[in-house]
Chains A and B, each alone.
Chain A
Amino acid sequence: MMSGQAFLDRIKNEFGDKITGANLAAIDPWVEVAPEGLVEVCKYLRDQPDLRFNMLNCISGVDYFEPDPKKAAKLDWQPHLEVVYHLSSLPTKISLVLKVILPRWKGDRPGDLPEVPSVSGVWSTADWHEREVFDLVGVRFSGHPDLRRILCPEDWVGYPLRKDYEMPLEYHGIRGR
């Protein structure tokens, strides 16, 4: 089994600046990948004979945004979105975390969803998981075969797991709050 540092050196060597960062000291160490290199990196992780990350466990979207300006001034991070991929390998029983850091809105135009290439061609699990992240967090997965809402109704407005989301007052005559 290779150490975290050796693994990081190896994929940095392979993909260069597509690997934008890493945190090996975290409880679940993670590697940050640039969106444009994501599919390539995922295929590599899945197909290398000694890595074989053949199972995608989970895709989660996390919105880093503090609506309260007083609290936001004290934070040590800028507003952004993260898409987190938890992978594991059945043969080696090792798990890995990938992160893609995105702006909250594409080009800072509110309403324009940030884009990540879809990995549903690498693992089919991603199909529904990406639909869920699109539905609740508001990330567009380019190249996804059928990107539509999955948990909320099709005509729902907004992305509920965004931190600045406001519950609608009314939906088809049903009182919201």
Chain B
Amino acid sequence: MTTQLDDPRIIEFDVRTDEMLVNMGPQHPSTHGVLRLVLRTDGEVVSEVTPHIGYLHRCAEKIGENLTPRQWIPYTDRMDYLAGMNMNLGWALTVEKLLGFELPEKARHLRVLIVELNRIASHLVGMGAYGLDLGTFSPFLYAFREREKILDLFEEVCGARLTYSYITVGGATADLPPGWLQKCESFIDQLEPVIDEYHALLTSNAIFVRRTANIGVLSPEMAIDYGCTGPVLRGSGVDRDLRRDGEQRYTEMYDGYAFEVIVQKDGHYPKDHKYPKVPASTVLGDCWHRFYVRMLEVMQSMDLVRQAIDRYSMATGPFGEPVKLNEKLPKGEAYMETEAPRGQMGFYIVSTGSAIPWRARARSSSFCNLSVTHELCRGCLIADVPAIVGSLDIVMGEIDR
């Protein structure tokens, strides 16, 4: 029997490889916790990604139906465990909205100060872990070195280093200790030059740019359609930040603070002459831009912390008065979103008039951000999957709740 070159069997054998299902996770180190991705691959090319979540589901919403709002605060810490203060704030504001509680001025500045400091810590981990995803280990160590100092500051404030439960319904559990503001200020002074080193280490690094530029491009329309928020949305060029655009109860916290939303307008980021130039190979909405937005937000938060220190030390009056642990809730419901480091974190509380809410619901930002993965990974290489998932900066504790 003779074979000819155009024999379909030979062409199939030579050119096409078999489709294969590759299971990534739930213990894969670069899936940021217990995320499982099932990849349908053809050689090195990924044709389909199916995320499977729920490995860290701890029934937080069901527990919330059996505790009073102040008792549920520690459970919000454990959602986005890298930004516990921001989670506390989201829930506290939601309950205050239901109670119609008005916060004293000093408490507002205290909250801005603490929350922005936590945003820096969270973005530092995001930066370090992203380097790790792309195969460089050292930025992770540097990021943790700086984050450690923020954790030390938090430890002095509330005794905890990860799960703070510090901001609570009606203010905070305690005032800042004496001498703390000076420590905080000197930390910020010391952090500022270090950030430039991080930019040199990653942002403008040729290898880093090649791994992230034009990878996982998220169009603004798709970002909005999938409910992506935070740096993921702003990295696609959508001008939205709840600190400016949110509900009045939240934006009044930032009244009088000078800050610009970090988003690219006419090819420029705010004050970008101080930072590395946007490489020509990048496209708005790719992994590099999401990373860059986060890095600029660190600078923005440092600026906000400085302003908050001034305003807090000038404010008079109480730092807030936490409501009773079993404060009776009025009948009704309230939904509130705040700008957490990873996006818009929403809480929904339904009360039928007792001290325990009828329903406590958490709308997680990472949950929505992750749901867009299958669109971003279609047609990319296997090695790009960690780069794309890492650029979304997800925290599984928040996704699975």
Contacts and interface: CB of A to CB of B under 8 A. Distances in A.
B332 interface: yes
A139 interface: no
27 contacts: A27-B332, A55-B224, A57-B344, A57-B346, A57-B363, A58-B346, A58-B348, A58-B361, A62-B350, A62-B358, A86-B363, A93-B245, A95-B247, A124-B222, A128-B367, A128-B371, A136-B61, A150-B54, A151-B53, A151-B54, A151-B57, A151-B401, A152-B54, A160-B59, A160-B62, A161-B61, A161-B62
B226 A125 contact: yes
Nearest to B57: A151
Contact of B334 (A28, A136, A160): A28
B335 A124 contact: no
Contacts of B247: 95
A152 B61 CA distance: 13
Interface string A75-101: 100000000101000100101010000
Given A136-B61, A152-B54, A124 B225 contact: yes
A57 B350 CA distance: 17
Contacts of A150: 53-54
Interface in A121-137: 123-125, 127-128, 136
Nearest to A56: B227
Contacts of A26: 332-333
A90 B240 contact: yes
Interface size class of A (residues with CB under 8 A): 20 to 34
Nearest to A66: B352
A84 B348 CA distance: 10
A75 B331 CA distance: 12
Contacts of B371: 124-125, 127-128
Contact of B224 (A28, A90, A151, A152): A90
Contacts of B400: 151
Nearest to B367: A128
B337 interface: yes
B368 interface: yes
Nearest to B244: A93
A62 B245 contact: no
Interface string B235-249: 000101000010100
